[in-house]
Amino acid sequence: MGKLFIVPTPVGNLKDITLRALETLQSVSLVLCEDTRTSGVLMKHYNINTPLKSYHQFNEHQVTANVVQQVQQTDIALISDAGTPAISDPGFFLVRACVAAGIEVECLPGATAIIPALVQSGLPSDRFVFEGFLPRQKGRQTRLLELARERRTWAFYESPFRLVKTLFQLAEILGGDRRAAVCREISKLYSETRRGTLTELAQHYEANPPKGEIAVVVSGEEK
């Protein structure tokens, strides 16, 4: 029986990949990825010729059963466009299906955007909550009201097109003086971490529309 390897890939700088990850991508029979063009850049950079096959949020329900059958015969790796699969990326359904089928699953340690954002935010990082992407519409207000009472530092991913609206909404619900940090383009050329109150951050990005991938870290409610 084969094995499923979950392999983290760089969130920005292509050098942010482990030697073991490279060895694994070279040794498996097939690499599942979100976008073969995006992952092809990484594979070509490290001269890895393992075949690529698309596995993304729009087809994972349809192809998972077939992939499980393949893993029963040979080792396969799963990667995402950036970071660790199954963390706000496809992967959970495949992992669950492989576990149910008695297939060994191993996740290699490696890159994820949320940990650098948390650590460099300057906010307490000994205990924290990760929210992935907040609900866009249904249940959003309810979730934000719940998080307003969260005493641990909490973090989430956000689109640059929704960031300003989200920051103003958080300022209204949590209080404009709540401390937070916005981390953009982690590990990339124009990486930026801006710290301040929710109101300050909302006003800054209203005047300076953000670009790129974003992680937001918010301080917990004080006792």
Find the CATH number of the domain harbouring 61: 3.40.1010.10
What's the CATH number where 142 sits? Answer: 3.30.950.10
pLDDT digits 0-9 by tens, 3-56: 999 999 999 999 999 999 999 999 999 999 999 999 999 999 999 999 999 999
Identify the domain boundary among 87, 107, 127.
107
Q: How far apart are CA 129 and CA 132, in angstroms?
A: 9
pLDDT band at 100 (very low <50, low <70, confident <90, very high): very high
212/120 Cα distance (integer angstroms): 18
The residue from 77, 107, 137 where one domain ends is 107
What is the total count of domains within the chain? 2
For residue 134, give its domain range. 114-218
Both 95 and 47 in one domain: the answer is: yes
- Please check whether residues 149 and 193 belong to one and the same domain: yes
182 phi and psi, to 5 degrees?
Answer: -115, 120
Beta strands in 159-204 (DSSP E): 179-184, 192-197
Q: What is the pLDDT of residue 97?
A: 96
- How many helices (H) and strands (E) are present in the chain, helices listed first? 8, 10
Report yes or no on 223 lying in a domain. Answer: no
Q: Are 25 and 42 within one domain?
A: yes
Alpha carbons 46 and 25: distance in angstroms, whole number:
10
Per-residue model confidence (pLDDT) at position 136: 86
Instruction: Say if residue 141 is in the same domain as residue 168.
Output: yes
Q: What is the dihedral of CA 53, 56, 61, 65, to 10 degrees?
A: 20
**Are residue 141 and residue 196 in the same domain, yes or no?**
yes
Q: Give the separation between CA 11 and CA 68, rounded to whole angstroms.
A: 27
Q: Please, where are the H alpha helices in 72-197?
A: 92-100, 114-120, 140-147, 163-174
- Using a cut of 0.85, tell me whether the model's pTM lies above it: yes
140 & 212 share domain: yes
For the stretch 145-176, pLDDT in tens is: 999 999 999 999 999 999 999 999 999 999 99
189 belongs to a structural domain: yes
Answer yes or no: do 213 and 121 share one domain: yes
